[in-house]
Structure 1
Amino acid sequence: MTLLDHLGELRVRLVRCLIAVGLAFAGCYSFAEKLFDLLMQPLVKAMPPDSKLIFTALPEAFFVYMQVGLVAATFVASPFIFYQIWAFISPGLYEEEKKNAIPIALFSASFFIGGAAFCYFQVFPYAFEFFMGFATDRILPMPSLSEYLGFALKMLLAFGIIFEMPLFTFFLAKLGILTAGMMRRGRKYAILGIFIVAAILTPPDVFSQMLMACPMLVLYEISIFIAAAVGRKEKTDEEEDGDADEATPDERPEQGH
């Protein structure tokens, strides 16, 4: 396929993803208010009794529900979206690897949704309890709908993406691109990169950064075991020297009788 053919296929895949999200959005928007109430529960439980969420612009609540419906539609359509991603990549794979496109897409969606669920059930309660701990008799928290939604969705999507790490490690290890030895040798650089990524994806406070960095560190260690289990074994220097000796023809002249 030429470059233009690849770009044409990419356009088709993106259009299909947009159509899937649009169809899911048509159904999710009718439940947007209930979904947002569910999304607010971790914050509401941590807020002081007299605190409430507010909106300061007239169309703010409307756009908040639109965003909630759109993100919910993205999660609903995520199996189809990941299938389109893997289907776009599959022409460069072997036949045996192409057959795994559907299982990989389903696992990708499961890890993505699982990461968001981990954030909602495990990270949000501790994060909001920490932030609400700064409230006093004179300081009463009144977060706006859009500010809370921006924070919550950013965290949910970020955790959904980082939980794809073991799956991408599995895929790269099967292709021989990544090995457990490479990950072990690059661990110190990976730790630095993890904290940089966590600082970018989270609000500008150390607590949120740690809440994201710690699961990423655990996922990185799990990914090393996955790469060791399914990846190709790295050859030691002695084995490489032995292979080189075997590959070198014996150029010594035959001795006469």
Structure 2
Amino acid sequence: MARKVDPNNMSFLDHVEELRWCLIRSIIGILVGAIVAFVARKFIFDTVIFGPIKKDFVTYQFFCKIGRLVGIESEFCDPNFNFILQSREMSDLFSVHIWTSITVGFVVAFPYVLWQVWKFISPGLKQQERKYSSGFIIISSILFFIGVVFGYYVIAPLSVHFMLTYELSDFVETQPSIQSYVAYIRASALASGILFELPIIIYFLTKIGLATPAGMRKGRKFALVAILIVAAIITPPDIASQVIVAIPVLILYEISIYISKFVLMRDARRKRKLAT
């Protein structure tokens, strides 16, 4: 059991011990979610993981309807997914099952992990800053879940559709391994979830003086290039997919500028009150 220590009078070893228990509790939370996901493998794989390779997946139906509205019969209406996922190693299925369960466990336990991290760093913050802990955890979790949903319903299906319908030659037949497919779905969801934490990252960078509204406005063109590069990495190599991914990230960047401005204005007001 973790021993009770006065947060204001902790030695280096006390901090290490507290960090150890923070990690242990976080891992336990992730493992609980992973066990639930491991047991619910039929739903996790047949419904969620293998959703983007089904022709009636909601994303394909959405883009199909959009195409028909503008008079275009899109390839999304009847994607040519003529393949079977292959297991090429003896341990593939079990390995995919384990790592997917751990990933789902992390996603589900994300608010709890965030709360544990906040509990560890909060003793070093001022009383005024601790009041925002609940808001920080809620907003960070919401942004993360929105990012995961965006990655799953937008990035993953666009990438899967492009990669698995791309034809090079009649002599080549696409038969992907289950390892590569599932890893791509997991990476798309997690990378997007982390990417959507941009406003929270900017908040803390502003608090420590590494980000300012003026600097972010000045560097907007460089940020645009960086966002387009990231979008090109995590999406298929077509302009439409990259723009679809880049737009929400650009919106988050603009929101982050106002967050940085809000933080500086609030800190300025606080300093003025202390001075009077």
TM-score range, shorter chain: 0.7 to 0.9
| Contact residue 34 and residue 105 of structure 2 kept, 8 A | yes
Q: Deviations over 1:26-82 (max 9, x none)?
A: 222111232122222113337635311111112211211111211111111111001
Residue in 2 aligned with 1:217?
A: 250
- Cα distance in 2 for residues equivalent to 1:72 and 1:220: 27
1:187 counterpart = 2:197: no
Alignment of 1:222-233 (within 5 A): 222-232=255-265
- For residues 107-146 of structure 1, what are the structure 2 equivalents within 5 Å? 107-135=139-167, 137-146=170-179
Unaligned runs of 5+ in 2: 1-9, 56-75, 269-276
Partner in structure 1 of residue 72 of structure 2 = none
Q: Deviations over 1:65-110 (max 9, x none)?
A: 1112111111111110011122222122211211222331122122
Identify the residue that residue 42 of structure 2 maps to in structure 1. Answer: 33
| Residue 79 (structure 1) aligned to one of 94, 101, 111 | 111
Separation in 1, partners of 2:13, 2:231: 36
2:73 is equivalent to residue 63 of structure 1: no
Q: 1-side partners of 2:99 and 2:88: how far apart?
A: 17
CA gap 1:73/1:48 in 2 versus in 1, 3 angstroms? same
- Is 1:43 equivalent to 2:76 in the alignment? no
- Give the superposition deviation at 1:126: 2.0
Shift, 1:158, TM fit: 0.7
Q: Return the offset for 1:215.
A: 3.6
| Corresponding position of 2:69 | none
- TM-score using structure 2 length: 0.72
Aligned position for 2:86: 54
Quick check: 209-218 or 100-109, which moved more?
Answer: 209-218
Distance 1:164 1:158 in 2: 10
Which of 4, 11, 28 aligns to 2:13? It is 4
Query: Is the aligned partner of 1:154 residue 2:187?
Result: yes
TM-score norm. by structure 1 comes to: 0.77
Q: How far is 1:218 from its partner?
A: 2.9
Task: Check conservation: 1:55, 1:146, Cα contact below 8 A.
Answer: yes
| CA distance in structure 1 between the partners assigned to 2:50 and 2:118 by the alignment | 34
Q: Which segment drifts farther, 98-107 or 136-145?
A: 136-145
* Aligned-residue CA RMSD (Å): 3.0
User: Could you tell which deviates more after superposition, 74-83 or 85-94?
Assistant: 85-94
Q: Where does residue 196 of structure 2 map in the other structure?
A: 163
Report the equivalent of 2:25: 16
CA contact (8 A) 1:115 1:160 kept: yes
Q: Deviations over 1:202-237 (max 9, x none)?
A: 48x6459936555433321221123234432899xx
SS at match of 2:173: coil
Q: Is the 8 A contact 1:24 1:77 kept in 2?
A: yes
* Alpha-carbon distance, 1:197 to partner: 5.3
Aligned residues: 233
**1:79 and 1:106 in contact (8 A); partners too:** yes
Contact 2:81–2:164 (CA<8 Å) still a contact in 1?
A: no
Give the whole-Å Cα distance in 1 for the aligned partners of 2:267 and 2:142. 31
- Structure 1 residues 114, 35: closer, same or farther in 2, change over 3 A? same
Partner of 2:6: none
Rg comparison, structure with higher value: 1
After TM superposition, give the deviation of residue 149 of structure 1 in Å.
Answer: 1.2
Q: Any gaps of 5 or more consecutive residues in structure 1? A: 236-257
